[in-house]
Amino acid sequence: MPREEFHSRARRVVDWFKPLNPYGDKGGSILKVEEQNRRIGTDKSEPLYCFAISAKRHALFNITEGNRPVLRKVSAHGLGHLRDPYSEAEAPSSIPPPAVELKKLGVKRWQYDLWYKITEAALAGDPDNVQLDWHPALQRPATIRYAASSPKLLDWMARLNEGRPYQEQIRPFNFLLAFMPRTSVFAPFSEEFVNQLRRGPPLKRWQPAPIAPYDSDPGRVLSKVFDRVTGTPVGPEQLKTYVEVLAQYHLSSEDKFLNGQFRDRGRTERRHVVATGQVWIGKEANQVGESGEEDPIWSAVEEFTATYDKGSAA
């Protein structure tokens, strides 16, 4: 429909909610027209577009005359666990700076840069092919920061702490770093593994659980990474880089809906679940005991049954 008619209908919907406002002295509608619907710095409406990957992973943006995105609101869903690969001061000049404050966008600068490349690829007609080469820091191993906030997490550092004075140990609530190992075909081949391939069916490959004591310098910490299970040193070539971790970020599936898989496009369809029974599974207490409490509650049942009227059964 014409934009004028669309705006008129939208205003009527907003006005319809005015009688439901419980704050009579303030008046107005409880349905707010967000500022992202207006041109930056004015009250004039601006066409607002959305690139939606899944329920919590999307970006709102305007489009310039040169068919370039102007991000207005983006999601950091699925990115918050990663440490910043570079600071705002180190941002690339090849990507236009945000038109609004990062705080209003709701993300950090490197997350904004990722979403800019995602929407740029979509506007170019190739949403599956997002370029992840805009900054050399993305070639470094992806780093995750944890706090030793439970005995279980602190125990990860048991091998490192062994034999050290208490002042030099990783202590409760200190920070530590974790990494993601390269697995499957991306894992580096060792000479032992290659020889095993020549002899017959390969043995199950060892997959490290790499961690390191906290260090603010990502380059300096790489020499301290070790497997928390065996204590074996883990080299940078065994760790996933930011590029590898982000490679499928824009292809995340939305399993709660039909037509929401990796390569699906268009409108998703609601899944309808029909309950065939009710069984307590203990999930509401599945973390009791992780902080050291005595007599933790265990999950008594680990399975449940439900059927979908469409799609696969679970």
Alpha carbons 24 and 21: distance in angstroms, whole number: 7
Find the helix or strand (DSSP H, E) in which 196 lies.
helix 191-199
Q: For the chain, first and last CA: distance in Å?
A: 42
The SS3 of residue 75 is coil
Rounded distance between C-alpha atoms, residue 290 and residue 161, angstroms: 20
- Position 176 pLDDT exceeds 60: yes
pLDDT per position as a tens digit, 194-249: 554 556 565 555 688 999 999 888 788 899 999 988 889 999 999 999 999 999 99
Predicted confidence at residue 198, as pLDDT, reads 57
User: Could you give the CA distance from residue 59 to residue 249 in angstroms, rounded to a whole number?
Assistant: 13
Q: pLDDT tier at 282 (50, 70, 90 boundaries)?
A: low
The larger pLDDT score, comparing residue 279 to residue 221, is at 221
65: region left, alpha or beta (phi > 0 left; psi from -120 to 50 alpha): alpha
Parallel, antiparallel, or unpaired: how do β-strands 226-227 and 210-213 relate?
Answer: antiparallel
Alpha helices in 63-150 (DSSP H): 102-105, 109-123
Picking from 86, 132, 120, 158, the residue whose alpha carbon sits closest to that of residue 245 is 132
The two tokens of residue 307 are: 């059927």
pLDDT given at position 314: 40
Question: If pLDDT is split at 50, 70 and 90, which confidence band does 25 have?
Answer: confident
Residue bearing the bigger pLDDT, 197 or 162: 162
